[in-house]
Amino acid sequence: MDDRQPDGGYPRLRLVHSVPPEPVHLLDDFVVCGTCGTYLERQREMYVCDGCGAARAAAAPLEEKVAAQVLTLMSQAQGWTRLVTVGAAEGEQPPTELLAQWWNTVGVDGQRVLLDILVEYVQVKYIQAHPTCISGRGRFVWSTHPRTG
């Protein structure tokens, strides 16, 4: 039996029934707990450590700050060279404004690819308040660890 179409090509596969994919967030599988090293999971509007529970971060501000850091990495010669080397970019390095436009047009999946090329992981940890701190509250800090080599 010949499955070819009238144009000589084979039929394209298509899904008849599919389950909607789970939402993918920018920092899924990139944010780690600074205490135990477990990947933080996005739960509603927070990234939360399911290991020791010591780290958490509001999703929107963390994603915005990491995006800004990625744009900074992309605008540096080393970051651009890395993008060109892996085939994610070509040619001369454009101005930062154009990189920001590019970042905003590729969508979350494209942003995650760029993030994976440039960033090894993002670490979130809790810093306890100094005993002389009036509020007595600690704070969460994060740091981006760029890929090297």
In this prediction, residue 97 carries a pLDDT of: 87
Q: Whole-angstrom Cα distance, residue 35 to residue 56?
A: 11
Angle at alpha carbon of residue 104, lines to 23 and 26, rounded to 5°: 30
Position 15 pLDDT exceeds 50? no
In this prediction, residue 8 carries a pLDDT of: 55
SS3 77: helix
Name the more confident of 145 and 50.
50
Please check whether residue 138 is in contact with residue 128, taking contact to mean a CB–CB distance below 8 angstroms.
Answer: yes
